[in-house]
Amino acid sequence: MKAVLLRRFGGPDVLETVDLPRPTPGPGEVRIRVRAAGVNFAETLMRENRYALTPPLPAVLGSEVAGEVEAVGAGVEVAIGARVIAPLFAAGLFFGGYAEEVVAPADWLVPIPDGIDFDTATALTVQGTTAALLLERAPVAGRTVLVDAAAGGVGSLLSQLARRAGAARVIAAAGSPEKRAFALALGADAAIDYGAEDWSEAVRAANGGAGPEVIFDSVGGRITEDCLALLAPLGQMVIFGALNIQSFGLGVAELTRLIFANQSVTGFAAAPLLTPDRCRALLADLFALVVAGDLKVTIGAVHPLAEAGAAHAALEGRRTIGKIVLRP
Ligand SMILES: NC(=O)c1ccc[n+]([C@@H]2O[C@H](COP(=O)([O-])OP(=O)(O)OC[C@H]3O[C@@H](n4cnc5c(N)ncnc54)[C@H](OP(=O)(O)O)[C@@H]3O)[C@@H](O)[C@H]2O)c1
């Protein structure tokens, strides 16, 4: 079977399409014929060995797939042909997805209902559950919300779900006019260019002069510092991105503001919050919203497996919107 292999860390061109032996499911496992393998931003950093977790080389990246069960190991009762998601990341398996066939633990499978295609299913797996769980960690009802990278995979779902959760105002921050137009089309109240020097002022101007009460930041560096300074009194900022590994100022001045403004900064990682049942329940809710037309999933691009490098280049080059999918 074909798979995308990482033999050494580096730029997008180190991703090679190779033939690997077809994997055999062991007891409690299934083999899935992959129809859609999700690409996530964290994988671009894993490829460069800049992520919190170092891939054991050689590695096949990819932490979520959707497809059909084509073989089962001992003790597994899942039907051959069943349409499923394997949320590998939630099972603590952050690798293996960029392949034609993937072996996954049967107890983590999530059935895909009628009306949901494989691309949409992958878009909701890492990014959808992340958006839903972020809103549990930081309730937004009646509060003003700033979403960074709002046109991305997580951001485009998070902005919509924040609105549904009763946010008083959703402000989208994004890097290009096209992305800001997209965020507004998804229902954001305002869209701000956070590449501009004076972007904090633009956020306040879009929010009646005040800072946002909840901020979801995945960008890191200067943007994280600006977000901390923007946060309203009693506000909550959630830091959840791969790029938040960059250091930012949290010295006496920042801590004093945090203390006297009664603010909180919350770290967030989706995988440790998920169990198989929790994952199925969250995805069932997300599927229902999509089928009802209440949540829009945008597939920004679908690439053949052999173009995994191009998919990474587009993602890290900030040229994508919504979900990026590999089609084996
Ligand atoms: N903690 C968790 O459990 C968890 C789970 C899933 C995802 N995440 C994080 O959520 C974030 C979004 O993930 P995603 O897969 O949905 O990606 P994405 O948002 O589709 O793509 C990343 C976006 O980040 C923005 N960005 C800002 N600075 C950037 C830079 N220096 N280089 C590249 N992009 C930059 C770009 O949007 P603009 O052009 O608009 O700036 C880019 O489109 C990532 O940081 C990811 O690690 C965390």
- Please tell me the predicted confidence (pLDDT) of residue 164: 98
Per-residue pLDDT at 130 = 98
The CATH number covering residue 157 comes to 3.40.50.720
For ligand 1, atom 5, the nearest C-alpha belongs to 130
What pLDDT score was predicted for residue 158? 98
pLDDT of residue 16: 97
Q: Are residues 175 and 262 in the same domain?
A: yes
State whether 161 and 100 are in the same domain: no
Is 144 close to ligand 1, i.e. is its CB under 6 Å away?
no
Per the structure, the complete domain to which residue 245 belongs is given by 127-267
Both tokens of 227, joined, read 């977000």
Taking residues 93-118, report their average pLDDT.
97
Tokens 């010295």 locate to: 251
168 CA from centroid of ligand 1 (Å): 24
pLDDT digits (tens, 9 = 90+) for 170-197: 999 999 999 999 999 999 999 999 999 9
Mind listing the pLDDT tens digit for each residue in 316-326? 999 999 999 99
DSSP 41-84: HHHHHHHTT-SSS---SSB-B-S-EEEEEEEE-TT--PPTT-EE
If one counts the domains in the chain, the total is: 2
Does residue 255 belong to any structural domain of this protein? yes
Averaged pLDDT for residues 215-225: 95
Same domain, 227 and 262: yes
107-161 pLDDT, tens digit per residue, is 999 999 999 999 999 999 999 999 999 999 999 999 999 999 999 999 999 999 9
Q: What is the pLDDT of residue 60?
A: 98
The two structure tokens encoding residue 262: 């009664």
Task: Say whether both 69 and 175 belong to one domain.
Answer: no
Q: 86 with 148, same domain?
A: no
Query: Which atom of ligand 1 lies closest to the CA of 241?
Result: 45
Query: Are residues 84 and 148 located together in one domain of the fold?
Result: no
Predicted pLDDT at 217: 97
pLDDT score of 246? 80
- At 101, which CATH number? 3.90.180.10
Could you tell me how far CA 138 lies from the centroid of its own chain?
Answer: 17
pLDDT in tens, 37-90: 999 999 999 999 999 889 999 999 999 999 999 999 999 999 999 999 999 999
Q: What angle do CA 214, 201, 135 make, to 5 degrees?
A: 15
- Identify the CA nearest to 324 among candidates 7, 76, 12: 12
95, amino acid identity: F
HSE of 306 in the Cβ direction (CA atoms, 13 Å)?
3
Q: Classify 138 as helix, strand or coil.
A: coil
Q: Is residue 105 predicted with pLDDT exceeding 90? A: yes
Neighbours of 235 (CB within 10 A): 25
d(CA 267, CA 204): 24
Cα–Cα distance for residue pair 232/211, rounded to 1 Å: 5
Q: Nearest to residue 23, comparing CAs of 50, 60, 76, 57?
A: 60
pLDDT for res 243:
85
Residue nearest to atom 44 of ligand 1 (CA): 241
Over the stretch 261-310, which tens digit does the pLDDT of each residue have?
Answer: 999 999 999 999 999 999 999 999 999 999 999 999 999 999 999 999 99
Tell me if 234 sits within 8 A of 261, measured CB to CB: yes
Q: Do 81 and 151 belong to one domain?
A: no
228 with 319, same domain?
no
Distance 318 CA to ligand 1 centre (A): 9
For range 212-234, the mean pLDDT: 96
DSSP state at residue 98: S
Closest Cα to atom 35 of ligand 1: 318
